[in-house]
């Protein structure tokens, strides 16, 4: 047992307060258990405000109800707080606790508090309660200085409230460089900042993608699933370079820019359908993983070769959509910037729908590059973590929260100026030319491992409460 583990135990009990079980948080809680150690008095417990994630609930952006289909609760101590009524995670005060959070912390014998953001009133109440009794507080939130803060009365009121909250916090877990700058902009002292890179289950994504890339059959229930069999299922040519977008089909994620980038790529003479020996040997094929309100628009702009939502006759459905000129124009507002003489036509694409956690590795196994074109409201972009762990190179807009970190730490990531589709196309081309091997890419995910945050928190716990 490490000295930090012994010190953390002697410090008492750490309570982590979060909104609900989340697929990318569970690996962190398990890493924290490993760092603190088990037996002899567990000094750590996660408290959930709601059961969203393990119970089927509606996601308006995906346009469907679902629950995550992987184990989010084993491997760490946890409990669900009792509520006095129905919860609504769309409201700041939409989670009515049956007992005051301060009372719950006292009854649990909490000697340290970790709060996951400030989206809900119980988070604020917990920080205030901890401050009153001298319990050290750790705060981790999805923050980025790239988002333009609102001005006027609302902006002033928000900043005033945040600054008062931050004054009660002892340590800020900065998920990346944009997060660190956000806190500094809000007058948080440098000594209170802890580097805590945003993370996913690196080993899980690496192992699953590796299995499916293996040309020997990987048994998945009653079928054999490999990279080649998945490509066949999704009607992706075996010689294609697969450019993947994964996420909600909503405006702030700019999925239409991927289509425009493909057309910019074609405009430069990379006409994939001509079968000219002078042309690239690996034509681009777009892979869209997800769903949302822009789904029909995306299909209208592509040559859809597979569509999981219209499996009976995806080409008939595509033809119907392509006749809707106004819809296609609505998606490709900047199409006039590209050549009107597209010799290759619409880019070939497969739409595989929303893939839950147990299936998402199928997409990473066939992808050659993952692209994230989002606006600044993408406070991080964990799809880039997942892709890197799975061994897939990435291209990300400079507006995304993760861009600075992955651009600096991963040689298989390229960053482009958000909205510049020609630059995105060039970045994709550059990454594909690297011909990266998955085992070379995946090792760079270690810079974003859950254990980094777990070790940092335990180290601070062992040091005791900071002086004011």
Per residue in 193-208, pLDDT (tens digit) is 999 999 999 999 999 9
* 191 shares its domain with 312: no
* 9 shares its domain with 19: yes
- Rounded to an integer, what distance in angstroms lies between the CA atom of residue 335 and that of residue 346? 12
* 232 shares its domain with 177: no
Residue 468 lies in a domain: no
Instruction: Look at residue 102 in the predicted model and tell me its pLDDT.
Output: 96
Alpha-carbon distance values, 54 to 22, 89, 122 (Å): 9, 15, 21
Instruction: Look at residue 338 in the predicted model and tell me its pLDDT.
Output: 31
Residue 313 lies in a domain: yes
Instruction: Look at residue 271 in the predicted model and tell me its pLDDT.
Output: 53
Instruction: Look at residue 216 in the predicted model and tell me its pLDDT.
Output: 40
Bridge partners of 296, per DSSP, are none
- Rounded to an integer, what distance in angstroms lies between the CA atom of residue 286 and that of residue 240? 9
- Pick from 37-51, 96-110, 243-257: least confident: 37-51
pLDDT at 19 over 60: yes
- Report percent pLDDT > 90 for the chain: 70
Mean pLDDT confidence for 150-170: 91
pLDDT at 319 over 50: no
Instruction: Look at residue 97 in the predicted model and tell me its pLDDT.
Output: 97
Mean pLDDT confidence for 304-325: 60
Residue 53 lies in a domain: yes
Q: What are phi and psi of 172, to 5 degrees?
A: -115, 120
Mean pLDDT confidence for 229-250: 95
* 191 shares its domain with 240: no
Joined together, the tokens standing for residue 294 give: 């822009």
More confident residue, 147 or 139: 139
Q: Quote the mean pLDDT of the chain.
A: 85
Count of structural domains, the chain: 2
* 161 shares its domain with 258: no
* 177 shares its domain with 213: no
Q: How big is the CA angle at 198 (ends 432 and 373), to the nearest 5 degrees?
A: 40
Instruction: Look at residue 465 in the predicted model and tell me its pLDDT.
Output: 54
Residue 90 lies in a domain: yes
Instruction: Look at residue 328 in the predicted model and tell me its pLDDT.
Output: 47
Q: Are 205 and 386 in contact (CB under 8 A)?
A: yes
Residue 64 lies in a domain: yes
* 193 shares its domain with 219: no
- Whether the CA torsion 305, 307, 311, 314 is positive or negative: it is negative
pLDDT at 311 over 50: yes
Mean pLDDT confidence for 223-227: 73
* 231 shares its domain with 185: no
Residue 194 lies in a domain: yes
Joined together, the tokens standing for residue 209 give: 């993608």
**Per-residue confidence band for 302, with pLDDT thresholds at 50, 70 and 90:** very high
Mean pLDDT confidence for 240-249: 97
- Rounded to an integer, what distance in angstroms lies between the CA atom of residue 21 and that of residue 312? 36
Mean pLDDT confidence for 386-409: 98
Instruction: Look at residue 464 in the predicted model and tell me its pLDDT.
Output: 66
Mean pLDDT confidence for 399-427: 97
Q: What are phi and psi of 174, to 5 degrees?
A: -80, 120
Range of the domain at 348: 202-447
Mean pLDDT confidence for 207-235: 74
Neighbours of 31 (CB within 10 A): 22
Instruction: Look at residue 69 in the predicted model and tell me its pLDDT.
Output: 80
- Rounded to an integer, what distance in angstroms lies between the CA atom of residue 83 and that of residue 95? 7
Q: Compute CA 148 distance to the chain's CA centroid, rounded to the nearest angstrom.
A: 21
- Rounded to an integer, what distance in angstroms lies between the CA atom of residue 45 and that of residue 18? 11
Residue 364 lies in a domain: yes
* 33 shares its domain with 180: yes
Burial (CB count <10 Å: 0-12, 13-18, 19+), residue 179: buried
Alpha-carbon distance values, 128 to 16, 97, 115 (Å): 15, 16, 11
Read off the CATH number of the domain in which 255 is found.
3.40.50.2000
Closest CA to 391 of 243, 205, 245: 205
Residue 275 lies in a domain: yes
Instruction: Look at residue 225 in the predicted model and tell me its pLDDT.
Output: 76
CA count, 13 A, side-chain hemisphere, 467: 0
* 207 shares its domain with 276: yes
* 193 shares its domain with 238: no
* 329 shares its domain with 237: yes
Instruction: Look at residue 84 in the predicted model and tell me its pLDDT.
Output: 96
């Amino acid at each position: 047992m490490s000295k930090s583990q012994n010190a953390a135990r002697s410090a008492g009990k750490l309570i982590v307060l979060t909104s609900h079980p989340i697929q990318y948080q569970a690996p962190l809680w398990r890493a924290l258990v490993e760092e603190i150690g088990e037996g002899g008095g567990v000094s750590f417990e996660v408290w959930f405000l709601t059961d969203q994630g393990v119970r089927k609930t509606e996601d308006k952006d995906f346009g469907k109800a679902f629950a995550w289909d992987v184990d989010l609760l084993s491997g760490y101590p946890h409990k669900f707080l009792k509520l006095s009524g129905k919860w609504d995670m769309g409201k700041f005060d939409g989670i009515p606790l049956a007992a005051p959070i301060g009372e719950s912390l006292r009854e649990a014998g909490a000697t340290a508090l970790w709060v996951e953001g400030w989206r809900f009133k119980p988070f604020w109440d917990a920080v205030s309660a901890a401050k009153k009794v001298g319990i050290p507080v750790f705060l981790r939130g999805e923050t980025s200085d790239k988002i333009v803060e609102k001005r006027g009365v609302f902006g002033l009121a928000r900043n005033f409230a945040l600054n008062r909250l931050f004054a009660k916090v002892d340590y800020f877990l900065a998920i990346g460089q944009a997060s660190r700058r956000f806190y500094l902009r809000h007058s948080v002292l440098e000594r209170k900042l802890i580097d805590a890179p945003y993370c996913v289950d690196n080993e899980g994504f690496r192992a699953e993608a590796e299995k499916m890339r293996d040309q020997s059959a990987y048994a998945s229930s009653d079928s054999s699933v490999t990279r080649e069999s998945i490509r066949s299922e999704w009607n992706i040519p075996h010689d294609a370079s697969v450019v993947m977008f994964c996420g909600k089909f909503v405006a702030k994620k700019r999925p239409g820019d991927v289509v425009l980038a493909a057309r910019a790529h074609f405009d430069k003479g990379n006409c994939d359908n001509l079968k000219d020996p002078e042309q690239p040997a690996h034509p681009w094929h777009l892979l869209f993983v997800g769903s949302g309100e822009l789904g029909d628009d995306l299909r209208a702009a592509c040559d859809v070769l597979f569509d999981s939502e219209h499996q009976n006759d995806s080409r008939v459905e595509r033809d119907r959509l392509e006749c809707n000129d106004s819809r296609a124009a609505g998606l490709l507002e900047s199409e006039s910037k590209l050549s009107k003489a597209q010799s290759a036509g619409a880019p070939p694409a497969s739409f595989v729908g929303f893939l839950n956690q147990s299936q998402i590795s199928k997409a990473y196994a066939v992808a050659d590059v993952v692209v994230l074109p989002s606006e600044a409201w993408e406070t991080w972009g964990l799809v880039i973590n997942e892709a890197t762990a799975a061994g897939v190179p990435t291209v990300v807009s400079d507006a995304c929260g993760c861009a600075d970190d992955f651009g600096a730490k991963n040689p298989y990531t390229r960053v482009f100026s958000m909205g510049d589709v020609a630059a995105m196309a060039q970045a994709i081309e550059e990454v594909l030319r690297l011909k990266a091997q998955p085992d070379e890419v995946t090792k760079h995910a270690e810079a974003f491992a859950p254990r980094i945050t777990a070790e940092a928190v335990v180290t601070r716990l062992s040091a005791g409460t900071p002086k004011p």
